[in-house]
Structures are given as C-alpha cells and as structure tokens.
Chain A
C-alpha cells in the first residue's frame, strides 16, 4: 500500500493524526456526555443531597436507604419481569413475521409499512394511545370485550393485568424496527440452503429453525442486546400510563428507572436517585457480560 510514497515515518505519523482527528468527535462526545457523568453519578451516590443539584460527599447512606426501601426491591423485580418477557417474546414474534414477509406474497410491501408504523410514532404518543384503548370505562378493548358478551377488565389498574398491558404495548412498539432488521438479515441468506432443504423435503418450520435462525443469529444477538438494555431502562410507557405516585397498578409496574425519575425530579433527592441509577447500571452490565460470553456458544458468524 505504501509503496512509492515519500517518507514512511512521516506518513505513519500523518495517518495517526488523521485517525485521531476522525474519531475525535465521537470520543469527545463520549467523554463529555457519558464517561464524565458516570463518574459524577458514582460520586453523587455516596453524597448527601443539597438543593439545585448541589451535593456533599458523605458516605454510603443512600445504599443503606436503598436496601430498606420496599419500592426498590419491587422495582427491580418489575424491571426483570418486564425485560425477560417483553424482549424474548418480541423477538420471536418479529422473527416469525419477518420470515412471513420475506415470502413471495401479494402486497408484502404494504404489510411491511404497516408493521413499521409504530416505530415512526414517538414512544410517549404510542403509550398515550394505548392508555386510551386500555381505559376501563371507555377504552376500545373493553368495548370489544363487552360486545362479545364478556366483562370488561381493568387493564391498567388491576394488579393481575397491569404488567401484561405494559409488556404488550412495549412489544407492539418495538416490532417494526426488529422486523426491518430481521428482514434485512433473512434477505441476505443464500437461496442455495433453502433449495437444498427443499430437495430433502424439509418443512417451512424446519427451514426457519435450522437454516434461517442460525444464519441470522448475529442479527438476533444484536436485537437481544439492544432490546435487553432498552427494556432494563423502561420508563416512558410506565410513566405515561401511571404518572408518578398514586395510580393503582403502579406498584406492579414501577420500574427501576421510573423510581429513579420520581426520586430525582419529583422528590428532588438527586443523590438517592444516583444510587438507584448505579444499581440499574450494574444490572445492565451483568446482563451484557452474560450475553457476550454466551454468544460464543450460539451466534454463528458467516465469514
């Protein structure tokens, strides 16, 4: 590559400089917007709150308070239940739909558009619309149930259904993006595999499980990682559905980040909120590490 160019040493230096120049915007952004705040948050979590974002370093009181706060345990449990149901179920549904939308059927473009629609809407707007649909007295879901002769249910306020309602909304809101990514991956799978399977008489389900899934596993892995991280940070749907404190059903759906938000911006106890968000950070870290170790076993990179 470098043959015929002057002064290899100079050239090397210039390459380095340009390299740093090109990564600088990202690296500087990362330091200012991510890394610096992480350290400040860590320090704040060991501090005592003063007003207007000020704080005094004191000790681990916030973590002690956290252990005795019953809402924290419930929030961690809710967050895990939400994540471990919404992400896997969402990916399975997306995979099946993506596979269907890669078939040669009439109007496939229309289906793709329809499924992508929720991605365009702001998450808060999605939650608002679902909140109206779930309304016990006037919601369209209960009207349909009643028309069919069933009793309406309290989708949001009944502790048996509250989490399910949040999960359904989250899955619906996430489908579009997952489907688009999976369609891209499935389209890239070589047709020769399917032809060979056809000759061996494999069923559609068998082809999906034995050919498509392994070959799109890098994409599934990508969706799983981003999905889990996103789900562990769930806030918007719960907040739009339940507000801050008094709504029935909030106890069954309050997530760690929702609890963090209320402590930081309603109670204005920024240091306790920092401790909560450090816990969330640790949980996300653990999930990510497990996945990166696990991926060696089941992700198939087609080089």
Chain B
C-alpha cells in the first residue's frame, strides 16, 4: 500500500502538469469538424492594422456626436457574436463609442458558429439574453415572434447621425417585421471563388475571371486534377451556404420559392445543378474524408485543391497568413452559360435584447454602430460594411490584399440567403438528404425529391401555425 501511495503522489504531480497542457490544447483547437455554414476561422492577427489608427483614418468622414444618453452614463453591457476573426473590427467600433461614452463598458465575447446559437437559445429560454446580440437571417424571425428583441425603429431619435435611409433596403427588409425594425444592418457577406495562383502557373493556365462559365471552370479543373499526386481542380464539397446553394440559383433553381412556402429542391433546374456539382465532386474534388477530417480552409491552403468556393467571412484565414501572400486571389462565382450569375448573399444585423437592464445604453450603442462613423470604424475587417458608400472605404482598405471588386460586383446580383421561422428543421432535413448523395451514393433526383417532400411538410406546418 505504501507503494501505491507513492504512485498516487506521482500521479497528482503529473496530473497538475498534464491537465494544464490538456486544457491549453483543448481550448486552442476546440472546434468540432466543420459541418458547413460559417466555420470559425482563426482569430485575427493582432499586429495587423492597429484599430486606433484606422479609427483616426476614418475620422474625416464626420465627427461622432453624443446622443440622447447622457455621456457620463456608467454601466456594463454584454455583447455576443460568432466568428472571432471579426474581433478587431468590432473592438474598433467599441473603442470609438467609448470616446463618447467612456463609462459604458462593453464586454464582447465570441463563440463558434455552432455554439453561438445553442448558447443564445439557452440564454433566451432562461431570460438572460446578452444586451447586444449579433443576429442572423436564419433566426431573427423566431426571436422577434417570441418577444426577445427590442424595437429599434426609432434609433434616429436618440442619435442625430443615425438614419435607416443610409442602409440598403435589401438588408433592412430582412430585419423588418410587423413594420418595425429589429436589427441595425451590420454587414454583408457573399460567396466567392478562391484560386491557387501557384497551381495555375504550374500548368500554364489563365487565372479565372469574374465572367467564367461552368464549362470554363470544368475545363480548368480537369487540367489541374492529378489524383495520383493528390492535386485536385475544384473543391465541390458538401457545404450548403458556401457550397452548392449558389449554383442552384444560377441555374434557375433554388432552395425555397420567394415567399418561403414551397421547396424548389425538386425543380428540374435544381436537380440539374446538383448533377453538375456532383460531377465536379466525383471527377475533380478530394474525397469528402479530406474535407471532414481537415477544415476547408486548411485543405485549400495546403495546395490540395486549386479552386474552391468560400464565404468572404473566412478570408481572414488567407489575408492574415503571410506565408500565403501572393499565392491566391478571388473572383466571382462562375455561372452556367445559359443561366445567370448568382451568389448567396446575406446581411447580418446587431440587435438589442428586450430584457436588457441597460436598454438605453444598448440602443445608444446600436445606433452608433449604424452611423457612418460606426461603420467606418469597422471597415478594415473581412466583412463588408452595410452602409451606402462605406463599402468603397472597405474596398480601399482591402484592395491590396485581394480582388475586392469580385465581392462588390457580386453584390449587384446576390440572392438572399433564405430563412423562415422553421429553418432549423427543414435545413436539417435538406442537409440529411444531400449528405446521402455524398456519403451513401443516393440517386440525386431521388434525394432531392425526398428532401423537397420533407421540407414542404415542415413549411406547411409552419404556415398552419401562423394562422
């Protein structure tokens, strides 16, 4: 027994050392495999663009002024968001706000995309929602209908610089319910094509352009694919928003019809687009095991694929990685020769919790956030400011890093990312069926027909509940 006692002492010592190691390791890489949607990219490089300097740069755009809230107000606000690669730009807005309201302390915290919605739902259910909440079109309607969000219609009354007239209608309408505004438009995103210049150079191929067709993409992908050496032309991975969805719309198909009452998944145009996408997957894409075992950004950065679709929110992964500088660029998504150009576009917003204990301060921040100055503060980040004119500033700040024009030009024909109140349910049904095409070899037409039937059933129930 004495011996065992000694062993335990040793164990304890070891435990201390090892648990520290284990925790550190666990935290720094705690992301589960990506399931599509917005995956968390590494945090922004701290050395890149000092926020203060940028706020100063933008200072000529118009001096920030105090609003209805007394400037000596002292309180603490909680502010939650996902995608920590936008931390730098969000902090810049907070810092500038604190120049006017130095005693309003804003505690910003991030979760990964997956965790964010779990936490938000749990905190709402227990009535402990954060004061400031980053909102998405997938969920806003559900939160508004359950009275969790504060009405932000009259923000112009508390901040003279604020006006909804400055925000694009395309995004405003996504956060307008019952003729009231429930979120201040924050930023746009869209899907672009990223390509590996080095791999194109090696084969002596022309780089992709904003006007490429599917056929041109396929031709290049075929020339770039060399399976024996683990090189692939195009990453047609199983990803909804950043993958197949844009291509449905380009071909005249889609996910849901415009008023969100019926699935378009069994539309012949959608099926045709999915057939093309799966042809690309089978011939020019690494196996799905590669994409599920490593995240898509790593797969591209490793030089395994030459072209890949990517959400612009993930571009920090490349802009912050100096080793990759000059080896990549982006362009608009290719389109079918007889179809239209399209990309899935979405607009995010900043909302205020109805239950906030410091609701006046929270609204004041939301208003500042939506002013020209507030959007200018954040213009150096990867997301595109949602304010008429500020996107030019964004293009100027990022123009030396990548083809910002590809993003701006796509905004002209972006298709709004669809959301209804029951999205979590029909989205799961749709993804389950499409995953069967990838992983079980299910027939494409059968899978999409089954998916449409399930989605329609859920939508019918949603409509029935509304009445």
Interface residues of A (CB under 8 A from B): 51-53, 71, 108-109, 112-113, 116-117, 120-122, 124-125, 128-129, 131, 134-138, 154, 156-158, 183-184, 187, 239-251, 262, 265-269
B275: interface (CB < 8 Å): no
Query: Cβ of B23: which chain A residues have Cβ within 8 Å of it?
Result: 122, 125
A247 and chain B: residue at smallest CB distance: B292
Interface range on chain B (Cβ under 8 Å from partner): 35 or more
Interchain Cβ contacts within 8 Å, total number:
135
B33: interface (CB < 8 Å): yes
Binds A, one of B171-179, B377-385, B432-440: B432-440
Query: Cβ of B114: which chain A residues have Cβ within 8 Å of it?
Result: 244, 266
For this complex, 18 residue pairs linking A to B, each with C-beta atoms less than 8 Å apart, are: A51-B142, A51-B145, A53-B125, A117-B14, A120-B15, A120-B19, A121-B19, A125-B25, A137-B230, A137-B290, A137-B294, A156-B293, A158-B289, A242-B292, A246-B35, A247-B33, A251-B439, A266-B114
Nearest chain A CB to B377 CB, angstrom units: 33
A51-B142, A52-B125, A184-B4 known; A136 vs B290 contact (CB < 8 Å): yes
Interface residues of B (CB under 8 A from A): 1, 3-4, 6-7, 10-11, 14-15, 18-19, 22-23, 25-26, 29-30, 32-36, 114, 118, 121, 124-125, 142, 145-146, 148, 230, 238-239, 287-290, 292-294, 304, 424-425, 428, 431-432, 435, 438-440
Query: Cβ of A113: which chain B residues have Cβ within 8 Å of it?
Result: 7, 10-11, 14
Residue with the highest number of chain B CB atoms closer than 10 Å, among A135, A136, A183, A268: A268
A136, A187, A249, A250: the one within 8 Å of B4 (CB): A187
In contact, A268 and B35 (Cβ under 8 angstroms): no
In contact, A241 and B33 (Cβ under 8 angstroms): yes
In contact, A246 and B142 (Cβ under 8 angstroms): no
The 6 closest A-B pairs by CB, nearest first: A157-B289, A243-B33, A247-B292, A125-B26, A121-B22, A53-B125
A261 and chain B: residue at smallest CB distance: B118
In contact, A51 and B18 (Cβ under 8 angstroms): no
Query: Cβ of A124: which chain B residues have Cβ within 8 Å of it?
Result: 26, 30
A109, A131, A245: the one within 8 Å of B10 (CB): A109
Query: Cβ of B4: which chain A residues have Cβ within 8 Å of it?
Result: 183-184, 187
Nearest chain B CB to A48 CB, angstrom units: 10
Complex Cα distance, B15 from A116, in Å, reads 9
In contact, A246 and B435 (Cβ under 8 angstroms): yes
A157 and chain B: residue at smallest CB distance: B289
A120-B14, A156-B293 known; A52 vs B121 contact (CB < 8 Å): yes
B145 and chain A: residue at smallest CB distance: A51
- Beyond the given A121-B22, A125-B22, A158-B289, please list 4 additional residue pairs across the A-B interface where CB-CB is below 8 A: A113-B11, A121-B18, A157-B292, A245-B432
A53-B125, A187-B4, A265-B118 known; A248 vs B438 contact (CB < 8 Å): yes
A129 and chain B: residue at smallest CB distance: B25
A112-B11, A116-B11, A265-B118 known; A243 vs B292 contact (CB < 8 Å): yes
Residue with the highest number of chain B CB atoms closer than 10 Å, among A71, A243, A247: A247
A125-B26, A138-B294, A246-B438 known; A156 vs B424 contact (CB < 8 Å): no
Nearest chain A CB to B124 CB, angstrom units: 6
Complex Cα distance, B115 from A124, in Å, reads 15
Query: Cβ of B304: which chain A residues have Cβ within 8 Å of it?
Result: 137
Complex Cα distance, B114 from A42, in Å, reads 27
In contact, B35 and A243 (Cβ under 8 angstroms): yes
In contact, A117 and B26 (Cβ under 8 angstroms): no
In contact, A187 and B431 (Cβ under 8 angstroms): no
Query: Cβ of A157: which chain B residues have Cβ within 8 Å of it?
Result: 287-289, 292-293
A120-B22, A121-B18, A135-B293 known; A248 vs B288 contact (CB < 8 Å): yes
Complex Cα distance, B36 from A128, in Å, reads 19
Complex Cα distance, B262 from A108, in Å, reads 68
Residue with the highest number of chain A CB atoms closer than 10 Å, among B10, B29, B293, B304: B293
Nearest chain B CB to A162 CB, angstrom units: 10
Query: Cβ of A246: which chain B residues have Cβ within 8 Å of it?
Result: 35-36, 238-239, 288, 292, 431, 435, 438-439
Query: Cβ of A251: which chain B residues have Cβ within 8 Å of it?
Result: 439-440
Nearest chain A CB to B277 CB, angstrom units: 14
In contact, A243 and B32 (Cβ under 8 angstroms): yes
Query: Cβ of A136: which chain B residues have Cβ within 8 Å of it?
Result: 289-290, 293
